[in-house]
Amino acid sequence: MSGRRFPPSSYAPIVAILSLLAIIVEAYGHNDGSGCYTSIVSFGDSLADTGNLVRIASQSHPPHFAFPPYGETFFGYPTGRCSDGRLVVDFIAEALGLPLLPPNFADQEESFGDFQKGVNFAVAGATALDVSFFRERGLENPFSNSTLGVQLGLFKQLLPSLCGSDSDCKEFLGNSLVLMGEIGGNDYNYPFLVGKNIREIREYVPFIVNEIASAINELINMGAVTILVPGNLPIGCLPVYLTSFETSDQSQYDSHTGCLKWLNEFAEYHNVRLQTKLDEIRKLWPNVRIVYADYYHAALRFFHSPTQFGFDGNGEVLKACCGSDGPYNINPSVSCGDPGANLCDDPSMYVSWDGIHLTEAAYRWLFNSLFEDRYTVPAFRLSCPNAARKGNVLSPSLSTGKIWRLFFSS
């Protein structure tokens, strides 16, 4: 290159451009709600559990999802996930270029990477409400007492080891995507499946929604900036409910989907109450991004138009891939993973994996729905430069100094 020099005035436009680029680069180091997250913190139940329950359950009575064929589609072995493969939380981590979330109860010997990049407190069977609420009503959670409050308490215990000082912890949470569930589904599953009256169960809804809201407010006070809150699924389409409440009264079924209308209406009632509560929180915290994920309507599409999503449209969409017998491949005495259970040939053709949890294929579609504006309020984006979907964005390794050198080094 020649040694030709330019007058100082000619540098002005370049300096302005470089200053703007420097600001952009520096902004990528901090989450401003634009979708760049350096870690994920997850709470919830079996829809998000990546292995906690199998690690805290009694070794003499491990849960049935600790056995094959759970995990067969992606991992090739059971991981403690209640599916044949990945969950929504896994797809989010992959999209952000982060490791799959390790369960909080992972042993130190297990190679799950750094909790600073993500940690999962979700436990299969967990409820939003405390066990005392149900005991007062003659109900017992048969799986665990790892309620939402317990999970939040465990997170607060772990947090100082992740970030140290209060200011650092606020920064850590501010740069994290917090997944609040799905949580609350089991608060209804247990009473419904033991025969509690729907009028009584409706009375639980405000307590459950308030418990979720309380956890969200506490996390915001701790520094959370972006919280993703999924609603309940269309439970009237789940094989376990279709089996438990099977009836000859055809008026109880949706003629287009075959789902039980009254159960789906109940799920919608919960979701409406939850969204109303989230609106109240947004008014209290206008600078916090609280995103409602409409799992209900996103999943309902599978049953209206199964072939559009690659599922079996020949009457199999309401059946479990892994189960036993009956019209929906569900037998309460033989669960998936138990001896004698049968397995479909291709899980990707099914919405339901084991009657109450979804297949990896269905979870993938739920993940995709997060980026369709009609299924999130407000719109949700993952735009971190490290993400798998990074597109044409500035590399985080391109520091301010490197920008200057690109222009002036040759």
What CATH number corresponds to the domain at position 179?
Answer: 3.40.50.1110
384 pLDDT tier (thresholds 50, 70, 90) = low
Beta partners for residue 358, in sequence order: 352
Residue 207 lies in a domain: yes
Domain residues for the domain of 44 are 32-408
Which position has the higher pLDDT, 307 or 58? 307
Amino acid identity for residue 120 in this structure: N
pLDDT attached to residue 35: 66
Cα separation, 311 vs 32, whole angstroms: 38
- Max Cα-Cα span within the chain: 90
| Angle formed at CA 349 by CA 249 and CA 302, multiple of 5 degrees | 55
5 pLDDT tier (thresholds 50, 70, 90) = very low
Contact between residue 115 and residue 100 where contact means Cβ atoms under 8 Å apart:
no
Helix (H) or strand (E) holding 95: helix 88-95
Helix (H) or strand (E) holding 377: strand 376-377
Residue 16 lies in a domain: no
CA atoms within 13 A on the CB side of 387: 22
Q: Is the pLDDT of residue 36 over 50?
A: yes
Cα separation, 290 vs 302, whole angstroms: 26
| Domains contained in the chain, number | 1
DSSP tag of 76: S
Cα separation, 123 vs 64, whole angstroms: 14
Q: How many CB atoms lie within 10 A of CB 23?
A: 10
Q: pLDDT digits over 244-259, tens only?
A: 999 999 999 999 999 9
According to DSSP, the β-strands at 118-120 and 342-343 are unpaired
Q: Is the pLDDT of residue 268 over 70?
A: yes
Residues 143-165, mean pLDDT to the nearest whole number: 91
Contact between residue 211 and residue 148 where contact means Cβ atoms under 8 Å apart:
yes
pLDDT attached to residue 20: 42
Which residue is it, tokens 């138009």? 305
DSSP tag of 256: T
What are the start-end ranges of the H helices in 164-236?
A: 166-174, 185-193, 198-202, 205-222
Residue 363 lies in a domain: yes
Task: Say what percent of the chain tops pLDDT 70.
Answer: 82
Cα separation, 220 vs 206, whole angstroms: 21
142 pLDDT tier (thresholds 50, 70, 90) = confident
pLDDT-wise least confident of 35-39, 173-177, 302-306? 35-39
Q: What is the CA radius of gyration of the chain?
A: 24
31 pLDDT tier (thresholds 50, 70, 90) = low
Helix (H) or strand (E) holding 266: helix 261-284
Residue 244 lies in a domain: yes
Residue 7 lies in a domain: no
pLDDT-wise least confident of 6-20, 256-270, 332-346, 386-400? 386-400
Residues, the chain, total?
410
Q: pLDDT digits over 79-138, tens only?
A: 999 999 999 999 999 999 999 999 998 875 564 557 889 999 999 999 999 999 999 999
Residue 20 lies in a domain: no
Residues marked as catalytic: 46, 354, 357
Q: Is 218 exposed, middle or buried (0-12, 13-18, 19+ CB in 10 A)?
A: middle
Average pLDDT, the chain: 86
143 pLDDT tier (thresholds 50, 70, 90) = low
Both tokens of 9, joined, read: 């005035």
